[in-house]
Amino acid sequence: MSFLSNPHLDLTTVRIETPRCVLVPFSLDGVVDIHELTDEFCRANKDLYVSPFLPTYEQEVEYLKWQIELMHQQEIVPLFILEKNTWKLLGATGLNNLTEDTMNIWLWIRLDEQGKWYATEVYTGLIDWAREHVRYEYLSHYLNPANTPSRRLAEKFGWVLQDIRSENGDDWYKIYLR
């Protein structure tokens, strides 16, 4: 079953605009330089990605192809975050279907753009979009307990900490959409 309230919505055409950002679906059409994407993602997630475990360009392309296929199957909404005026890559965000009745929201902002309130702005746009297009009553978000900025962001939006932990020990937050 689709997570969308309108299962005929074409996720490849989703475009969410915020005051400074535009969120566009993952693609390999050159909107985003895949080398830059890989480098910036690894920099922003430096605790997870250290040599020799850095993804190669080819692995990143395969990952994006897989994400795009899942988007075509309406299983996820993966979006690049671009600066509205310059189309500079700021990060990525999206929704993925965790279970039959749960959508998970995720977000990363490139390291040199953190602390500029992009996360707050992107969350506002994505949660508003989800309220209109997702059939679920709430979204979930798994956060590493040590990730203080993400925890503060979740709490700012009214996310409620649940008494559940993910398989890798992350805290589970949820926010009601209705």
Total of domains in the chain:
1
pLDDT by 10-residue block (mean), the chain, 178 residues = 86 96 96 89 70 77 94 93 96 85 87 93 94 89 82 84 76 80
The reply to whether 4 falls in a domain is: no
Residue 98: what pLDDT? 67
Helix (H, G, I), strand (E, B) or coil at 14: coil
Report if residue 2 sits inside a domain: no
CA angle 137, 109, 129 (to 5 degrees): 30
Q: Give domain status of residue 5, yes or no.
A: no
Pair 90, 115: CB distance under 8 Å: no
Two structure tokens written together for 24? 């566009």
Range of the domain at 115: 11-176
Whole-number pLDDT of residue 51: 60
H helices of 88-144, in order, are 118-133
Specify the pLDDT at position 142.
81
User: What string of H, E and C letters represents the secondary structure of 138-158?
Assistant: EEEEEECCCCHHHHHHHHHCC
Number of H-type helices and E-type strands within the chain: 4, 8
Decide if 1 is inside a domain.
no
Phi, psi dihedrals of residue 6, rounded to the nearest 5°? -120, 100
pTM attached to this predicted model: 0.89
Q: For residue 61, what are its two tokens?
A: 């392309």
Kindly state whether residue 135 falls inside one of the protein's structural domains: yes
β 76-83/21-25 pair status: antiparallel
* CATH classification at residue 161: 3.40.630.30
Vertex 72 angle, CA 68 and 73, to 5° = 115
